[in-house]
Amino acid sequence: MVESKKQLDEWGSAIRHMQEQIGRVIVGQQDVVEQLLWCILAGGHALLEGIPGLGKTMLVKTIADTVDLQFSRIQFTPDLMPADITGTNVIQFGTQGETSYKFQKGPLFGHVVLADEINRATPKTQSALLEAMQEKTVTVGSETYRLPAPFFVLATQNPLEQEGTYPLPEAQLDRFLLKIHVTYPTKSELKEIVLRTTSAQQLQAEKVADGALLRDIQTGLKDILVAEDVLDYAVQLLMNTHPEEATAPESVKQYVRFGSGPRGVQAMIAVSKVKAFLAGRFHVSKQDLNVVAVPALRHRLFLNFEGQAMGISPDSIIASIIQTMESGR
């Protein structure tokens, strides 16, 4: 519950300091940084996609450096097994020769977990994250262990056209609050990257927030108001991703096989609340929803064969939905 203006100012100051510290290390990528912060402040997980060498791993590590939380990195490879992530029961021998089992925690037991190149591992291993990302627990045998709070999975992946990649299962994709595209830097940004990475002085982000503050912000931002007509707009936007919906644009009916599930509208509302707060407002607008719709829904739309063959992007589908709804208002 939001208690006072002083508290709101404290939250805003902490977020600005996080952005400043990230900017000390990361060149450009303002949209990517902003969307990652939306995700963290909304309490969700993020999937970053981009070609190798764009600094995805560095970005996640830098964000982890700004918060006083346990950071854990998992390098996904084709031979990685589920137990390598979650942990396993190990046999312990007593002084009298008796044996017992003790659970040895895996790297998943961290606050900020970097799942690096997540689509290099097989779907079996990728699926080991399903329970952790949804229920914030890990079950091994008959025992269930709770993960530390707050808990974020910030995953990176290479485009599926790259060698040695496996597509993520649809159920796991749906558990990522946002899918964020990392774009190629501009000419001036490339120049600054070279200057920063080849000099003797290596900059590092400082810790400016802790877990308790993040939990307070996550809880408090849930009180941001969503008017009835704005909620109706969000629900209709989601419904229009389904080809069987009467009001869906022709691009959806022609190219989409399956639209987004309920997590899509939950993600749009949760992230829009954060976006509204960062803009100095305490209510969500339809424009907020239009902005967050692409990263919230792009990984929840599944194209049919024609859409894939034509090279249609989910982003363009979502843009056509928003355009249709805006023109019909």
Q: What is the pLDDT of residues 245-256, one digit of tens each?
A: 998 899 999 999
Residue 133 has pLDDT above 60, yes or no: yes
Residue 57 has pLDDT above 70, yes or no: yes
Q: Which residue has the higher pLDDT, 321 or 124?
A: 321
Over the chain, what HEC string results?
CCCCHHHHHHHHHHHHHHHHHHHHHCCCCHHHHHHHHHHHHCCCCEEEECCCCCCHHHHHHHHHHCEECCEEEEECCCCCCHHHHHEEEEEEECCCCCEEEEEEECCCCCCEEEEECHHHCCHHHHHHHHHHHHHCEEEECCEEEECCCCCEEEEEECCCCCCCCCCCCHHHHCCCCEEEECCCCCHHHHHHHHHHHCCCCCCCCCCCEEHHHHHHHHHHHCCCECCHHHHHHHHHHHHCCCCCCCCCCHHHHHHEEECCCHHHHHHHHHHHHHHHHHCCCCECCHHHHHHHHHHHHCCCCEECHHHHHCCCCHHHHHHHHHHHHHHCC
The pLDDT-based confidence of 164 (bands split at 50, 70, 90) is low
Least confident of 77-86, 92-101, 290-299: 92-101
Domains of the chain listed by start with CATH number: 1-78+109-198+208-223 (3.40.50.300), 224-329 (1.10.8.80)
The overall average pLDDT reported for the chain is 86
Q: What is the pLDDT of residues 276-314, one digit of tens each?
A: 998 888 899 999 999 999 999 999 999 999 988 998 999
Does the pLDDT at position 223 exceed 70?
yes
- Give the least confident one: 209-213, 267-271, 281-285: 209-213
